Structure 1
Amino acid sequence: MKKLILASGSPRRKQLLEQAQLQFSISTSTVDETITETLTPNQVVEQLAFKKANDVFKRFDDSIIIGADTIVSINGTILGKPTNEEESFRMLQQLSGNDHDVYTGVAIVTKEKTVLFHERTVVSFWELTAKEIEDYIASGEPFDKAGSYGIQGLGALFVKKINGDYFNVVGLPLARTVRELKNFQNCSS
């Protein structure tokens, strides 16, 4: 049986794979996550997911490696993880009262084949006051999350509605990922 390895240190992705009752280990990728600016959001997440999975695959080439990357995009601008409070405030101000897209790219890599795909979910935010944004930033939650919020935490209070896969916004389109994994022989689950 091939071992399943998640090429991510994300506690949210770990939790989602555990929710699916998959047996896996974690080996964090160390690749540069710089975004190629000429790519579309779906190309960016697929490229970064592949880079992460391929990096770990080089160390564990007898395994099934899952890499993933999530970004937020609004009006053509990609929002990654904020680097400081000011950047977080600006991002949340941009999202306030607007719709935005959340893209997660997934790469599944083995010796035999590679599968790349992405999911897109549209998220609508309520209008946010400066105080709501400041209080949220003070919670510390935004700093390791694309777009500066976590839908699975306090950030849920900003969400008016979503159209698409909720788990995609959390960081891994779970049902699609598990379905794709079924196409890989000897996946331990």
Structure 2
Amino acid sequence: MTKLILASGSPRRKEFISYLGIDYDVEIPNIDESPVQGETPSELVLRLSCLKADFISKKHSDSVVIAADTVVCFNGMILGKPSSREDAFNMIKMLQGHTHTVYTGVTVQKGNLKRSKVVSTEVTFDSMDDDFIRNYVSSGECDDKAGAYAIQGIASMFISQVKGSVSSVVGLPINEVVKYLREFGLEIPVSKVC
């Protein structure tokens, strides 16, 4: 049986993969995730998801590897994970009252065979005052999240609209992953999922 490897330590991505009812291992790729000058958000997340999948596939060529990368983009600016709580505050303050786009690149790879896609989703935040933003940031939910928020958590209180894939905003476009896994011959045991 083909082994499945998730190339990510993200708890959110692990949770989505666990929904599939397939045994899998986790291996975190050691790659440079710095953007290349002039790179668009789509190009960045696609390149990084491919690099992560390649890194793990080179060590496990008979396994199916799932890798992803997510960024938030607002007014042409790419927002990754905040470097501090102050950085998180500034990100949320900038995004409040506006619509931004979340890009997630996903790659599923086995040996030299690879399927990749970028999924974009528009997310609209309500307007918030500084105290509300500070309270949100102090919750810690913003830590280690692209754009300084988690759509599936407390942040859902100030998200007024989502156009596109919610799972992609969380960090893994699960619909695309399931399609690619089936292409690679892995069956999703629905009886274990439902």
TM-score interval (norm. to shorter): over 0.9
Instruction: Give the equivalent residue in structure 1 for 2:45.
Output: 45
Classify the secondary structure of the residue corresponding to 1:120: strand
Provide the aligned C-alpha RMSD in A: 1.3
Shift of 1:180: 1.4
Q: In the TM superposition, what are the counterparts of 1:177-188 in structure 2 within 5 Å? A: 177-186=177-186
The alpha-carbon distance between structure 1 residues 63 and 136, as it changes in their structure 2 partners (threshold 3 A), is: same
Instruction: Give the equivalent residue in structure 2 for 1:88.
Output: 88
Aligned-residue identity in percent:
39
Shift of 1:50: 0.9
Instruction: Give the equivalent residue in structure 2 for 1:101.
Output: 101
Partner amino acid for 2:57? F
Kindly provide the CA deviation profile for residues 37-95 of structure 1, in whole angstroms up to 9, marking residues without a partner as x. Answer: 31111111111111111111122121111110010000110000001012111110110
Shift of 1:188: 7.5
Structure 2 CA distance, aligned partners of 1:151 and 1:37?
28
1:4 and 1:188 in contact (8 A); partners too: no
Q: Quick check: 1:71 aligned with 2:59? A: no
Instruction: Give the equivalent residue in structure 2 for 1:146.
Output: 146
Structure 2 CA distance, aligned partners of 1:158 and 1:119?
22
Instruction: Give the equivalent residue in structure 2 for 1:127.
Output: 127
Shift of 1:175: 1.1
1:46 and 1:116 in contact (8 A); partners too: yes
1:72 and 1:102 in contact (8 A); partners too: yes
Structure 1 CA distance, aligned partners of 2:166 and 2:117?
17
TM-score of the superposition, structure 2-length normalised? Answer: 0.93
Structure 2 CA distance, aligned partners of 1:161 and 1:184?
34
> How many residue pairs are counted as aligned between the two chains?
189
